[in-house]
Structure 1
Amino acid sequence: MRIGVIADTHLSERVQKLPDALVEGLQGVELIIHAGDWISPHVIGLVEQIAPCESVIGNNDGPDIRKRYELKKLLTYGGFRIGLIHGDGFRKTTEERAREAFEDEQPDIIIFGHSHIPFDQTIHGIRMFNPGSPTDKRRQPLYSYGILRLGESIHAEHFFYDNKS
């Protein structure tokens, strides 16, 4: 199974399309996982034109998005348990907050966002994956997203681009 992973789109209702590099890179995925901070519910429709979407809310999402999604989710795809959370909060790092949110569930991988920093590391036996942001790179050199391939194991990879149009 091939899954697109994005977070922190931070797009307003004025935006009419997703970046071309992102749309092209997500072609053929069976599912998209979004780790929150959509900003505008209209963006959900843009993502769902590519593939069905699983998501959680981020700290910048308003009431329309909060009605649709939860703070965290535990998903099962391809026999793997996938924790999904935005990762915002106080104290500790974003990665620590995301990992601690799933201490009892012990998923195979935790997908999180919030920091806009691409991250892929195994901590205490759990793969931690942040796709970065496809539209708001902040202090990062490039925009980014991720692709998960679920087979006999989980293969996660970041993809980068420099033009968000």
Structure 2
Amino acid sequence: MKIGVISDTHLPGVGRKLPKKLLEELRKVDLIVHAGDLTEEKYLNCLKSLNEVKAVAGNRDSFPLQEKLNEQLSFEIANKKISVIHGHQFGGRNVLQSLNYSFPESDVIIFGHTHRPVNEELGGKLFFNPGSPTDKRLEKNHTFGIIDIGDKVNGEIKILEEGS
């Protein structure tokens, strides 16, 4: 099972559309997970036109989108429990510790908000933040992630090249 993971797209604030290369990559996965800050429903619908999508609300999402999406969600794939939250709820302090406390039974915890990629295994859990595929205010690269779930769980942060 291959999951394409994105967060913090912040459209149309940082651009008008999702990068072409990102859309190509998201067509190849089994599931897309968006960890919040889509901002407008039309971008969620764009992702849904590519693949199945699971998404949570972020702090910068429009009110109608926040009404439609939950702040967090958990689901199971291939006997692995995956939890998703945007992460603004933690105020930037001890985020991994707060996530671990909030989702004690999860094997994979996906979050966003910081725009900084994280692909870290601690205590048998994968903590994964894909960064942002559209906003480079806090990082030098546009990024997204792929999580492969099989016998093992493997996360990979991917860099989108300029102009893609």
User: What is the TM-score when the length of structure 2 is the normalising length?
Assistant: 0.90
Query: What is the one-letter code of the residue matched to 2:127?
Result: M
Distance in 1 between residues matched to 2:65 and 2:96, nearest whole Å = 23
CA distance in 2: counterparts of 1:27 and 1:108, whole angstroms: 25
**Pair 1:116 & 2:115 matched:** yes
State the match for 2:28 in structure 1. 28
Equivalents in 1 of 2:146, 2:109: separation in Å? 14
Once residues 157 and 91 of structure 1 are traced to their aligned partners in structure 2, the CA distance between those partners, rounded to angstroms, is: 23
Tell whether 2:68 aligns with 1:68: yes
**Residues 58 and 71, structure 1, Cα contact 8 Å, conserved in 2:** yes
User: 1:13–1:43: 8 Å Cα contact kept in structure 2?
Assistant: no
The alpha carbon displacement at 1:7 in A equals 0.4
SS of aligned partner of 2:84: strand
Q: 1:90-112: CA deviations, max 9, x gaps?
A: 26143333333213xx2001000
Give the counterpart letter for 1:99 in structure 2.
Answer: N
TM-aligned CA deviation for residue 14 of structure 1: 10
Which residue number corresponds to residue 139 of structure 2?
140
Deviation at residue 16 of structure 1 after TM alignment: 5.3
Kindly report the root-mean-square deviation, in angstroms, between the aligned alpha carbons of the 2 structures.
1.9
Deviation at 1:164, TM superposition (A): 5.2
Q: Distance in 2 between matches of 1:91 and 1:159?
A: 23
Find the counterpart in structure 1 of residue 11 from structure 2: 11
Instruction: Give % identity.
Output: 34
Shift of 1:74: 1.0
- TM-superposed CA distance for 1:63, in Å, is 1.7
Residue 153 of structure 2 corresponds to which residue in structure 1? 154
Q: 1:70, CA displacement in angstroms?
A: 0.7
Structure 2: 5+ residue runs without aligned partners?
A: none
Question: 1:112 and 1:101 mapped to 2: Cα distance?
Answer: 12
Helix, strand or coil at the partner of 2:18: coil
Give the Cα separation in 2 of the matches to 1:26 and 1:20. 10
SS of the aligned residue for 2:113 comes to coil
Bigger shift: 52-61 or 86-95?
Answer: 86-95
Q: Kindly state the Cα deviation for residue 124 of structure 1 after the two structures are TM-superposed.
A: 3.1
- The aligned amino acid for 1:73 is L
With structure 1 as the length reference, what TM-score do the two structures score? 0.90
Q: Which whole-Å CA distance do the structure 2 matches of 1:164 and 1:102 have between them? A: 37
